[in-house]
Amino acid sequence: MTEEAMRIKPEQMQDVFYKLFVKYKFAEGKAELLAKVFTESTLVGVNSHGINRLPLFIEYVEKGLVKIEAEAEKVATFGSLERWDGNFGAGIINATKCTNRAIELAKSHGMGLVALRNTNHWMRGGTYGKQAADADCISILFTNTQPNMPPWGGKDSRIGNNPLVISIPREQGHVILDMSISQFAFGKINEYRLRGEKLPFPGGWDANNELSNDPEKILTKERGLPIGYWKGSALSMILDMLATLLSAGDSTCKIGTREFETGISQVFLCIYPAVFGDRDIQEKLLEEIIAYTHDVELMNTGDKTYYPGERSAMTRLRNLKEGISVNTTVWKKVMAL
């Protein structure tokens, strides 16, 4: 059965979120940042890592898995590379801080990398890709997760859907790739479940080891389908290896031994393209690629082709005008926290 949706003004949503985080004893600055990021993620249409995930975030706070006063600290420096420890603070706050540091390193050295361990879910990874692009930096960011996909050929989940973000600054609108290594992020699968809809393509395995597009059947055992099948399986493992080795943190294997997903490892790599001194050429090359892919005869699957981040930007403009579409049950649950 499809659940009803309602429209909420962004300002109202952010105010509700801010008061909620203050209620849970976050300092005002942190409460403002958390409220802004959760709202912005919902504003661009990623409800799965915005409002829909907020009740779970509060549950983690209540259980002491997210440390309210903790935040990331630098533990080692190797020139333009640094290791940081998140001290199990809020993932949004830690990721924002580490992205800022990677930007600083990039502007000093041309490239900068911060590897972070012992942190929590960063929510929408594209947030930090945009943060880097707004600072005129290219970014490559990724995180490991709890095991929620079987390695190709296996039955049980042993690898994570390890989200990957790549962003490129652009005057006419940043290019921001934000993708999990599963065909559908589990938050997105849950959105389909809330709407009472099937996935447009298979997204995971059911209890009978059959590929399924039924959200309920996939969510029962959390066995997602890797993008590109065996290629996605391999990419997931590589990202987990890099995040673990560079941060000296925990791998998906270790994270999977815990009852809850916490203590994850992340990497924030920024590049400052201004060092090349050819910004006009860079913009021209980006426009050439985008124009070439836009100018293509369409099949019957859509009205146009898009570059990464284009549809999110369109959704943001629409929601600013019309209000943010949220699930009524989820909104009531947030209001009751």
Cβ contacts of residue 154 below 8 Å, gap of 6+?
none
Helices marked H in 167-258 — which ranges?
Answer: 186-195, 215-221, 230-247, 252-255
Q: How far is CA 312 from CA 40, 127, 177, 276, in A?
A: 11, 12, 10, 29
Q: Tell me which of 49, 109, 174, 294 is the catalytic residue.
A: 49
Strands 111-119 and 81-85: parallel
- Detail the DSSP E strand segments found in the chain: 5-8, 73-78, 81-85, 111-119, 138-143, 164-168, 175-179, 204-205, 211-212, 264-271, 324-327
Q: Which of 33, 2, 3 is nearest to 18 (CA)?
A: 33
Q: Using CA atoms, how far apart are residues 171 and 179, in angstroms rounded to an integer?
A: 23
243 token code pair: 């995040």
Angle between helices 310-322 and 28-43 (to 10 degrees): 100
Q: How far apart are the first and last CA of the chain?
A: 25
* Lookup result for tokens 């990202």: 239
Residue with tokens 């012992």: 118
Q: Are 37 and 317 in contact (CB under 8 A)?
A: no
Helix (H, G, I), strand (E, B) or coil at 261: coil
Task: Give catalytic status of residue 174 as yes or no.
Answer: no
The answer to whether residues 225 and 214 touch, using CB atoms and an 8 Å cutoff, is no
Catalytic positions, please? Answer: 49
